[in-house]
Copies of this chain bind each other. A is one copy, B any other.
Amino acid sequence: MSFGKSFRSHFPYLDPSVTPVNHGSFGLTPGCVIEQQKRVSEAHESYSDRFHFSDAEHLYARQIQALARYLRLDPRNLALVTNATCGVNTVLRSIKWDFSRDKVLVHSTSYTSCANTVKFLADYYGLRYDVVKLDYPIEDSDLLTRFHEKLATGNYRLCMFDLISSMPGVMLPCEQLIQLCKQHDVLSLVDGAHGAGLVDLQFLDTLQPDFFTTNLHKWLSAPKSCGLLYVNPKHHSTIQTLPISWNYSNQNCQYIPNPTTAEDRLQNENLMHNKFWFVGTMNYAQYFSIEEALKFREETCGGEDRIREYQWQLQREAVPLIVAEFGPGARLLQNSTNTLAVAGMFNVNIPLPEKYSALKQKLASDPYYFMDFKQKCFALMFSRKAFLPFIYHNGELWVRFSVQVYNELEDYKIGARSIKSAVMEVLDAEHGA
């Protein structure tokens, strides 16, 4: 079946009156994956004791194996986590910090929850941190210089950066940033929330960052919510599950410093599995539907290349249409080397008339005013059933559009009109107020 609106038949739970142009926030799960999730829940209820004590470990291992095959990664470095924020929390909260000395580097466009985790460790335990300011559109070379200047000071133990930022939805030169961290002997923690299903992740095994995490429910068709955590082998012994659970004290979860037997070596290689397969009683149905999600992408969608090709093609057609809807001054958020947009996400600004300059000033300077403004626009877009997220960044209102296999050109006209009219309506009301 060809992609586009007719492909929505694979997503039977989607309200047909909704125009889904915001895949990036929460993903949308194929019907076959939701059905699998229900089957797992029912199997779980049918005999919980056996499910937990006997079946679950095997089912967990199968998902990791399937992911490793599909993403072409070494399964021994992978673990399932609830989502990318949990992945980041898992790492940041099981590093043996020296709170009196250690410092972390983040960037101004880091995902709020992840930046908050660093801020929490600072507020509660004294971890120090600095922020690299990023103003889009930015050249990769400029971005790398800003990170380099900080990292070269030798002040940092860890640097957390995005593969693809959330708002605006843009790609960072992640591979160079990993190398930069290595060069300066700084731990790299990559927030790849939007990675799996949008970007080839094989660089993980070649570049070997210290830590990487991605959601699987956003772009890889898994149910809400699944995340993947990659941990460099040298940290397998350090990183612990969130919450700390049964396995923390298990014999087979302890790293053996100088393994002499094959059994010892095997234990060291299996640490990630042994620690992460069980983190207490929870709903494992989403995890155990990952294989089904990969099958959907491979068999029903025809694989990652075909998906990406469709996304790029549709994006190319959608941009001029949106720019025309948004009016003079609207443009794609892009730099000179065309590295910012990704297959599934791009950003276009809504030019705001000069008469709103005072309001623009307020949107830029008062985060609480912006939040309130955003909520009003959201409500209007919900009622129109065409929702798009946006931010006020570097003097412009940037709208993030998502592109997925169930989209077609018409969606972007509907989406662009929905958000433009919502923004203008709220601005008008605020201006008049």
Question: A interface vs B, CB < 8 Å?
Answer: 11, 13-15, 18, 22, 25-29, 34, 37-38, 41-42, 44-54, 82-83, 85-86, 88-89, 93-94, 96-97, 99, 112-113, 115-117, 119-120, 124-125, 215, 217-218, 223-225, 240, 242-246, 248-249, 251, 280-283, 286, 368, 378-379, 381-382, 385, 387
Contact = CB atoms under 8 A, between A and B. Distances in A.
Contacts of A88: 243
A225 B242 CA distance: 15
Contacts of A225: 280-283
A94 B42 contact: no
A198 to B, nearest CB: 16
B242 A243 contact: yes
Contact of A13 (B46, B217, B246, B248): B46
A86 B120 contact: no
Nearest to A116: B248
A96 to B, nearest CB: 5
Contacts of A82: 243, 282
Contacts of A217: 281
Contact of A85 (B45, B47, B52, B245): B245
Best-buried of A18, A52, A94, A124 by chain B (most CB within 10 Å) = A124
Given A120-B244, A225-B282, A48 B34 contact: no
A347 to B, nearest CB: 17
Contact of A119 (B215, B248, B387): B248
B45 A378 contact: no
Contacts of A248: 113, 116-117, 119-120
Given A22-B49, A46-B13, A283-B224, A125 B97 contact: yes
Contacts of A51: 26
A377 to B, nearest CB: 11
B26 A49 contact: yes
Best-buried of A13, A249, A281 by chain B (most CB within 10 Å) = A281
B85 A116 contact: no
Nearest to A243: B89
B54 A382 contact: yes
Nearest to A86: B243
Given A29-B45, A242-B243, A243-B89, A281 B83 contact: yes
Nearest to A98: B125
Contacts of A93: 93
A46 B15 contact: yes
A25 B88 CA distance: 30
Nearest to A37: B41
A322 to B, nearest CB: 18
B13 A42 contact: yes
The 3 closest A-B pairs by CB, nearest first: A89-B243, A13-B45, A26-B48
Given A54-B382, A283-B224, A249 B116 contact: yes
A94 B243 CA distance: 12
B45 A243 contact: no
A17 B215 CA distance: 38
